[in-house]
Amino acid sequence: MAFTTTKPLTFEEYVAFDGTDEHYELVHGGLVLMNPPTGRHSAIIELIHDHFKAEITRKAHPWVSRRDIGVRVDIDGSRLPDLCVMTLEQEQTILEVSAVLQSPPLLVVEVVSPGTATTDYRAKRSEYAVRGIPEYWIVDSVETKVSILILSEGFYDLVEVRDNERIVSPTFVELALSAAQIFGTGRL
């Protein structure tokens, strides 16, 4: 990832930016290029996304799980989590404009990529907490663990899940998913 602008952008300039087919995050007014994911990264996201969609349908929640949805994190910052679970009402606010949520989604998921561990574990953790996102998952295929962060009094409480341990999610209370399922699908 590299900053690609010399002049800081406002959030409004960021959402109006339409110069390429690349994906960028806005960090302190600078555009940060998001590299394409690895095949493993993509497969993990697809698996979690499928589980979220199935659980949303099964429980008839008024929610959606989406990829490529931005989340505004501060006055001059926006992140692109790998997955974002939001309400149908929130989805309506972005249908005809740049897909950047102005209000906190229910849950975001980041899959750690080469070179993004510090950003995922530190910067985004802090930004998502300040933004008030109730639940944040960090999926780390190198460490083969899923970090579930639950917002409590402005800070995230952390539970790490490994192997056959079931992921306990306040958003998806009945979700039947373990770390072993995420990392040991046979394809990965």
pLDDT value, residue 3 = 45
Is-above-0.75 flag for pTM?
Answer: yes
Compute mean pLDDT per 10 residues along the chain, 188 residues long, and list them: 56 63 67 77 95 98 95 89 97 90 97 88 95 97 95 97 96 96 70
Q: Does domain 37-183 have CATH number 3.90.1570.10?
A: yes
Length reported for the chain: 188
How many angstroms separate the CA atoms of 76 and 27, rounded?
7
Going from the C-alpha of 48 to that of each of 35, 65, 104, 121, 165, the distances in angstroms are: 20, 10, 20, 19, 16
pLDDT of residue 22: 66
AA letter at 7? K
Identify whether the C-beta of residue 71 lies closer than 8 Å to the C-beta of residue 100.
Answer: yes
